[in-house]
Each structure stands twice: as structure tokens, then as C-alpha cells.
Amino acid sequence: MSVTIKQIAEKAGVSRGTVDRVINNRGHVKPEIEERIQKIAVELGYRPNAAGKALAARKKSFIIGVILCARGNEFFDDILKGIKGAEQEASEFGIQVQVMTMKGYQVEEQLRLMDQLEEQIHFLILNPINDERIARKINDLSEKNIPVITVNTDIEGSQRLCYVGCDYLKSGRTACGILGIATDGKGQVGIAAGSVKILGHNQRIRGFFETQKNRFPDLRILDIIETEDDKETGYAQTLAMLKRHPSMDAVYIAAAAADGVCRAVADWQRQNMESPHPVKIVGSDLTPAITKLLKEEKILGTICQQPWTQGYQSVTLAVHYLVNGQKPDRQYFYMKNEIKIPENL
């Protein structure tokens, strides 16, 4: 049976209160007694009981705030589900979760939401826009004792506790690995990014190049376009790219707008009567749209990033911080890059 504070107190000949003060570094304990208690705790292998903590924590009633650029972006649905899942657990600690979503990536809007939440919350989970003003606001909150965790996208130059999300570099490498396998290392590849300015897409492309260089030297990357995460732009840009490079036989979609890209490929194949050949496509994430394309075998596979876990884990880390006062033990909580094909959906 595991060791309790009570047992330590008995063994040390002090009250439970004193042991609690020592264990949680609350001060107000005579140094020699502190030392004795520490020693006994280690000796007995004391591990705090989470259930006890949970019960005691209910008297405090903290609130965790969440801001996501999720409106009109179905990719975030799974992140939201993960947050909902953790909310149940948080409520056992008397902790509430307040989620706000915004549409698009306006810095002003995000700053406004942060200001608004500031009064009510004790912790912030943020899907940040990579802008200096946001970074400053994060630091501002941190100083006011509202720690921040970034989720899904990270931001440079801020004091966020940690980042929970995709390892975009690895995601790009994995995509290249799959296209390398599919084309016997000889693919003529085009890349469709959302915007090369978006940090994540940029890193995916870097990762793709890295693996191309190291492992598939005969694979060629012919072109990179930007879809602006928009179907129609994606369609037009992809079609133009295919016309520029008639030998292209593979496409990596490092962003949303997979529908547009796939439609362009299909149309081009229909038009390009003189030298028809298949174009192998690898996508990113697993939205309903992508699932459909997978099942219809319009794309070969897709590289996913555990969105549910991103939501769940960020809340769990916040709960752990609020209940135990413990910071996350590392800066980066990277998700797995899961490869999905029709067979293992």
C-alpha cells in the first residue's frame, strides 16, 4: 500500500500540516525539521495521491481559457473534441474550461479576446498567430501569473510554458518518405503549400527537402505553389503548375484545400491526352474532406497529427499545473505523425 502524509507525520513525530508544508515547499518550517521530514519522505518513497489532491483542489475553482482560430476550419473539430474530453476530467478538480474561437488570423481580434479573458482566467491555452504583439501579450499575461501554453502552432520569442502540437518538420519528412516509396524514389514532385509564410507549412517543406536530399536523391521537386488554403486558388495554381511541368507525377499537399488540388489533377489528367500518366498525391491531416478523397483513392495517403490529443493534452497539462503547481517537464510536446491509408483509417 502506498505511503501517505499521515504515515510520514507519525514517523517524524509532527502533524500532517507540517509535512504538507515541507512536501509542497510552503516555508514556515524549522530547517532541521524540514530536513528530517524530507529524508523520511524519500526513504518511504512518498508519492502524492492524485485523488486526494483532486478532492482538496475543488475548493479553489480555477478557470482555464482557450483561444483557437477554429471558426470555419473543420480541422479544429478534433482538437475541440479533445478539449471536451479533458473538460470532464478537469471538472473533477473543480476546474472549468472556457473556449473561445475566432475566424481567420487577425492579430487585433486575438488580442481583443486575450484582453477579454484576462480578467476571468487562471491559465490560457492559445493557438497563437505568429506576431510580435501576441508574443508580448503572452509575456504580459505570464507576469500577471496567467501562464500560457501554445497549441497546434508555436510562436517565437515568448515565454509560453510549452508547445503542444505537430512536429511539422517530421511531418514533411514523412510525406517525402511515403512519396519516395510510392515512386520508387524517382518521383517528379510538386508541392502545394497554404502559404510559405505560415511557419508550419514552411517547416513541412523543409522536412520534405531534407528527406529528399538524404534518402531519395533521384526524386525531384519541380515546383512549389501556394493555395492560400482556398479551394479555388488551389485549383488554379495546381493546374498552372501541372501545365508548367507535364512530367509531374506526384504532389504533396502541405496544407488544406486538398479538394481543389485533387480536382485540378483529375481535370489535367483528362485533358492531357498525349502523355497520360497517374499523379500520386499525399495530403496532410484527416478532415472529412480528406477522408473522402482517401476512400475514393484520389489520394494515396495522408500524414496526420493527432489533433484530439493536442486538445486533450494541453488541457491536462494546464490542470496539472493548477493543481500541483508543477510546470511541464519539457518545452515541446510533439504529436506522432500518423500515416493513414484507406486500409488503416
Partner DNA sequence: TTGTAGGCGTTATCAA
Partner DNA sequence: TTGATAACGCCTACAA
Answer with the entry of a second copy, DNA, none that 30 interacts with (C-beta below 5 to 8 A by kind): DNA
Q: Which residue number, 85 or 94, has a Cβ lying nearer to DNA?
A: 94
From the CB of residue 152, how many other CB atoms can be counted at a distance below 10 Å?
Answer: 24
Chain centroid, CA 184 distance in Å: 32
Between CA 235 and CA 260 the distance in angstroms is 4
Which one among 17, 52, 72, 157 touches a second copy, defined by CB under 8 A?
Answer: 52
Run of H or E residues at 89: helix 76-91
95-124: contacts with a second copy (CB under 8 A): none
Question: Dihedrals φ, ψ of 287, to 5°?
Answer: -75, 165
Using the contact rule CB under 8 A, the part of the chain among 43-51, 99-107, 247-255, 313-321 near a second copy is: 43-51
Q: Which of 127, 174, 238, 314 binds a second copy (CB under 8 A)?
A: 174
Q: From the list a second copy, DNA, none, which binds 343 (C-beta under 5 to 8 Å, kind-based)?
A: a second copy
Query: What does the per-residue mask of binding to DNA show for 48-67, with x meaning CB under 7 A?
Result: xx-xxx-xxxxxx-------
Region binding DNA by CB under 7 A among candidate stretches 4-12, 75-83, 200-208, 266-274: 4-12
Q: Which does 298 bind (CB under 5 to 8 A by kind): DNA, a second copy, none?
A: none
Q: How near is the Cβ of 210 to a second copy at its closest, in Å? A: 9
* 344 is a site residue for a second copy (CB under 8 A): yes
CA gap 166, 154 in Å, rounded: 10
d(CA 152, CA 250): 27
At CA 277, angle to CA 275 and CA 279, rounded to 5? 135
Q: Between 52 and 276, name the residue whose CB sits nearer to DNA.
A: 52
Binder of residue 5, out of DNA, a second copy, none (CB less than 5 to 8 A by kind): DNA
> Which grid coordinates are listed for 229?
488554403
Q: Does 178 bind a second copy (CB under 8 A)?
A: yes
Q: How many CB atoms lie within 10 A of CB 182?
A: 16
Cα(5)–Cα(46) distance, rounded to whole angstroms?
Answer: 8
- Binding of a second copy by 166 (CB under 8 A): no
> Does 17 help bind DNA (rule: CB under 7 A)?
yes
- The footprint of DNA on this chain (CB under 7 A) covers a number of residues equal to 35
Residue 44 CA to residue 118 CA, distance in Å, equals: 42
Q: Which stretch binds DNA (CB under 7 A): 1-9, 66-74, 283-291, 310-318?
A: 1-9
**Residue 188 interacts with a second copy (CB under 8 A)?**
no
Kindly list the distances between the CA atom of residue 193 and the CA atoms of 6, 95, 305, in Å, as whole numbers in the listed order.
59, 39, 17
Report the C-alpha gap between 109 and 333 in whole angstroms.
27
DSSP state at residue 59:
T
Q: What is the CA radius of gyration of the chain?
A: 25
Q: Which three cell numbers stand for residue 86?
A: 479533458
Nearer to DNA, 176 or 317 (CB): 317
DSSP string, 80-121: HHHHHHHHHHHHTTT-EEEEEEEES--HHHHHHHHHHHHTT-
State yes or no: residue 319 binds DNA (CB under 7 A): no
Residue 157, binding choice from DNA, a second copy, none, Cβ under 5 to 8 Å by partner class: none
Q: How far apart are CA 47 and CA 77, in angstroms?
A: 37
Work out whether 329 is an interface residue with a second copy (CB under 8 A): no
Interface contacts to a second copy, rule CB under 8 A: 1-2, 47, 49-52, 54-55, 61, 88, 91-94, 170, 173-174, 176-178, 181-182, 184, 211, 215, 297, 300-301, 303, 336-344
